[in-house]
């Protein structure tokens, strides 16, 4: 039900970590109805937020589990919330979604919201250490979710898992697929043929080569080793197939690659490292691939879909929200090298299929992932929560 907004703009604090600037397009959409600020762990982002016209505040938080560090982050966030006095605190990412929400409730923020952006390798790798960390995480997440007014999930699988385990209350949980993609920024019509050719020449890609691009942090659970093996096998059949890996090594990940594995990936794939010109790289590509083990909802696939590309991904939570098998690409089992080989060869074999799949990808983005659509959905929930009698009484 749509609710008419109050006359004054309520204040929303968006909480994240080193990549909280990825929420800026969402914040711009929300700013039509709200006064929005950002909280993150990277001081250098202050200029990015200032350029976008948003206040930005910093706090320290380690990616690793650390009781002392987490308590410092908690009390710093409490202090920030008391200073900023937001009407809504909306936390994204794993640790902010716990400590940010608990701090907001402690500080007396009227409406507290969290978005669980994905369950990651805790729910993929069955090792003893992961099981212990997962148990602790679930207890913390349960406390934060029950203390909150709403918990959002990016995909149906995560919602099912967390609500069936009673970690997140069903009546206070919703699914919204991501924080939105700017279809103006990721638009295939933005880039000329000559621009695309310049990028392809930079990577040594010939006019008749088929360029398939993976954009991701580089660690084991993103499936880079399987893609490296599949690329070697597929190129024996179709030497015109080229696979480009764009992204930096994640040394801090629990499933970081070994030195030998990094060298193997370098030999098997064309690896650019981190790049800022993602849109033009996608525009110059013929397809996109992401053989990940599990996602919340992969921004890389949503951006590729917005650019009108056919997609290859694993049939896992998150990817199923973006890739419709046989309609805009192919879904293959996770860790299945042979399945990846088959998908790479099929998508490189037919220009007509690539065109049809790409058109469907763009249409899917317009309907479900456009930041304007996503921001409207968040806004409606925000206003409904603000207008609940309990939250009106708790306003600053």
As averages over each run of 10 residues, the pLDDT of the chain (396 residues) reads: 63 96 96 97 96 97 79 96 98 94 97 92 70 86 96 96 95 96 95 96 95 96 97 98 96 88 96 96 98 96 98 97 97 97 97 97 97 97 89 59
Residue 2 has what pLDDT?
54
Residue 137 has what pLDDT?
87
Residue 171, burial from CB neighbour count under 10 angstroms (0-12, 13-18, 19+) = exposed
Classify domain 11-180+371-391 by CATH number.
3.40.50.2000
Residue 390 has what pLDDT?
67
Whether 11-180+371-391 shares its CATH topology with 188-369 is answered yes
Looking up tokens 């604090």 gives 13
* Rama region for 308: left / alpha / beta (φ>0; ψ in -120 to 50; rest): left
Pairwise CA distance, residues 358 & 145, whole Å: 38
The DSSP secondary-structure symbol of 4 reads: P
Tokens of 50: 């200032």
Residue 340 has what pLDDT?
98
CB atoms within 10 A of CB 126: 8
According to DSSP, the residues that pair with 197 across neighbouring strands are none
Tokens of 379: 């806004």
* Sequence ranges of the domains in the chain: 11-180+371-391, 188-369
The edge-to-edge listing of strands for the beta sheet with 210-215 is: 270-273, 241-246, 210-215, 287-290, 311-314, 329-332
Output the CA–CA distances (angstroms, integers) from residue 49 to 76, 94, 104, 324, in the order listed. 20, 22, 22, 35
Our CA angle for 24, 26, 31, nearest 5°, is 90
Residue 325 has what pLDDT?
97
Classify domain 188-369 by CATH number.
3.40.50.2000
């Amino acid at each position: 039900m749509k609710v008419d907004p109050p006359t004054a703009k309520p204040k929303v604090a968006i909480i994240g970590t080193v990549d909280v600037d990825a929420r800026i397009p969402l914040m711009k959409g929300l700013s039509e109805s709200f006064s929005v600020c950002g909280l993150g762990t990277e001081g250098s982002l202050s200029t990015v937020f200032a350029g976008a016209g948003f206040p930005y505040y910093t706090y320290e938080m380690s990616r690793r589990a650390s009781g002392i560090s987490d308590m410092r982050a908690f009390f710093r966030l409490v202090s920030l919330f008391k200073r900023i006095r937001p009407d809504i605190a909306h936390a994204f990412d794993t640790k902010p979604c716990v400590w940010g929400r608990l701090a907001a409730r402690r500080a007396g923020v009227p409406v507290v919201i969290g978005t669980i952006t994905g369950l990651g390798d805790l729910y993929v790798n069955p090792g003893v250490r992961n099981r212990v960390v997962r148990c602790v995480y679930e207890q913390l997440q349960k406390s934060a979710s029950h203390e909150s007014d709403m918990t959002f999930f990016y995909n149906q699988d995560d919602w099912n898992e967390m609500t069936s385990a009673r970690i997140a209350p069903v009546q206070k949980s919703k699914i919204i697929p991501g924080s939105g993609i700017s279809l103006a920024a990721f638009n295939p019509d933005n880039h000329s043929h000559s621009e695309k050719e310049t990028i392809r020449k930079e990577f040594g890609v010939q006019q008749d080569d088929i360029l398939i691009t993976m954009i991701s942090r580089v660690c084991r659970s993103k499936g880079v080793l399987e893609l490296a093996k599949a690329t070697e096998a597929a190129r024996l059949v179709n030497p015109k197939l080229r696979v480009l890996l764009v992204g930096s090594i994640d040394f801090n990940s629990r499933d970081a690659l070994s030195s030998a594995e990094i060298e193997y990936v370098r030999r098997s794939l064309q690896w650019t490292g981190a790049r800022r010109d993602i849109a033009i790289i996608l525009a110059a590509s013929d397809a996109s691939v992401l053989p990940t083990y599990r996602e919340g909802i992969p921004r890389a696939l949503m951006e590729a879909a917005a650019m009108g590309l056919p997609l290859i991904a694993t049939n896992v939570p998150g990817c199923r929200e973006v890739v419709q098998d046989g309609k805009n690409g192919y879904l293959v089992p996770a860790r299945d090298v042979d399945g990846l080989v088959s998908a790479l060869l099929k998508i490189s074999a037919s220009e007509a299929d690539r065109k049809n799949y790409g058109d469907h990808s763009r249409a899917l983005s317009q309907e479900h992932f456009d930041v304007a659509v996503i921001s409207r959905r968040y806004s409606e929930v925000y206003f409904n929560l603000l207008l609940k009698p309990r939250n009106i009484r708790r306003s600053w």
